[in-house]
Amino acid sequence: MNYQVIIPAAGLGKRMGAGKNKLLLHLNEVPVLIHTLLVFEDDEACDGIVLAVSPSDQEEIAKLIQRYHIHKVIAFAPGGKERQDSVYNALTLLDNDGIVLVHDAARPFIEKQFIHEVTAAASEYGAAVIGVPVKDTIKKVQDKKIVETVERSSLWSVQTPQAFRVSVLKEAHFLAQKDGFLGTDEASLVERLPFEITMVEGSYDNIKLTTPEDLYFAEAIIVKREKKEK
Ligand code: CTP
Ligand code: MG
């Protein structure tokens, strides 16, 4: 099942504290953004990438894309104030047909197997996301006091890619815009339609590079994969 993918890459990387967009930091001598793009470039089921970038990064990113021979970027969309705005700007560039994935540029370790599983589920049911069961016991806290222990067996951490029929995701974004609703992922917009979303179990390797210590985990994942290849 083929798909197009929106990759939001227009953040500021404030929590990483690198003084620039964290996606331009290098892992194994290759920028994070390129690691992510290469996964989709090398996936035969990917028909095209729409990349949301801030105008101040676009020239540098366009050069990197050339240098690493990435051919599937069909359009740049202007980054917006929030991630949701960046995705919206990219979404308006797509036709209404087929399946669209949204995948954070800051998750370079996504594997093809999970991309294909979430795409297949979206093609069957209309909406699907990747996630993993939470490992910690989660408490609800107010004013530094525990209010409740949330039943863990039903809790999942949600990642990307999140996959949708294009028409479903567009409708969800239009509704969110109409209501002034801001969500941290696409699923939270689609849930409001309402529309049932399938959870596909992914991998704990698919981390989002958010704070500096995530870079240590990233190095470890790279070492593990290099060993596996040998
Ligand atoms: N993103 C985006 N447009 C925004 C904000 C975020 O395209 N206005 C992208 C980021 O580039 C990233 C993904 O959305 O690939 C997930 O966001 P996050 O991890 O929060 O990255 P940043 O917003 O860059 O980091 P921070 O919140 O620490 O500033
Ligand atoms: Mg952010």
**CATH number assigned to the domain comprising residue 149:** 3.90.550.10
- Both structure tokens of 34: 């390129």
| pLDDT, tens digit only, all 230 positions of the chain | 999 999 999 999 999 999 999 999 999 999 999 999 999 999 999 999 999 999 999 999 999 999 999 999 999 999 999 999 999 999 999 999 999 999 999 999 999 999 999 999 999 999 999 999 999 999 999 999 999 999 999 999 999 999 999 999 999 999 999 999 999 999 999 999 999 999 999 999 999 999 999 999 999 999 999 999 88
Cα separation values, 184 from 38, 69, 76, 121, 213, Å: 25, 31, 21, 22, 22
C-beta separation of 102 from 197 below 8 A: no
Query: Is any ligand 1 atom within 6 A of the Cβ of residue 171?
Result: no
Closest Cα to atom 23, ligand 1: which residue?
A: 11
pTM for this entry: 0.98
In this predicted structure, what is the pLDDT of residue 157? 98
Quote the ligand 2 centre to 76 CA distance (angstroms). 19
Quote the ligand 1 centre to 84 CA distance (angstroms). 10
Which residue is associated with the tokens 């989002």? 208
Q: Could you give the number of structural domains in the chain?
A: 1
Query: Is any ligand 1 atom within 6 A of the Cβ of residue 78?
Result: no
C-beta separation of 93 from 49 below 8 A: no
Q: Amino acid identity, residue 167? A: S
In this predicted structure, what is the pLDDT of residue 229? 87
Domain limits for position 163 = 3-229
- Both structure tokens of 203: 């991998």
Choose one of 5, 12, 33, 208 to mutate for the ligand 1 pocket test, by most ligand atoms within 8 angstroms of C-beta.
12
Query: Is any ligand 1 atom within 6 A of the Cβ of residue 221?
Result: no
Which residues in 150-171 are b (16+ Cβ under 10 Å) and which e? eeeeeeeebbbbbbbbbebbbb
Query: Is any ligand 1 atom within 6 A of the Cβ of residue 105?
Result: yes
Which residue is associated with the tokens 């815009």? 177
In this predicted structure, what is the pLDDT of residue 126? 98
- Both structure tokens of 140: 């609800």
Which residue is associated with the tokens 């101040």? 56
Quote the ligand 1 centre to 157 CA distance (angstroms). 17
Query: Is any ligand 1 atom within 6 A of the Cβ of residue 83?
Result: yes
- Both structure tokens of 117: 């599983």
C-beta separation of 106 from 209 below 8 A: yes
Q: Residue 83: exposed, middle, or buried by beta-carbon count in 10 A (0-12, 13-18, 19+)?
A: buried
Query: Is any ligand 1 atom within 6 A of the Cβ of residue 15?
Result: yes
How far, rounded to the nearest angstrom, does the alpha carbon of residue 60 sit from its chain's CA centroid?
Answer: 21
Task: Ligand 1, residue 106: give the atom nearest the CA.
Answer: 15
Quote the ligand 2 centre to 141 CA distance (angstroms). 23
Q: Where are the beta strands (DSSP E) in the chain?
A: 3-8, 26-27, 30-31, 46-53, 73-78, 99-102, 127-133, 139-142, 145-149, 156-165, 198-201
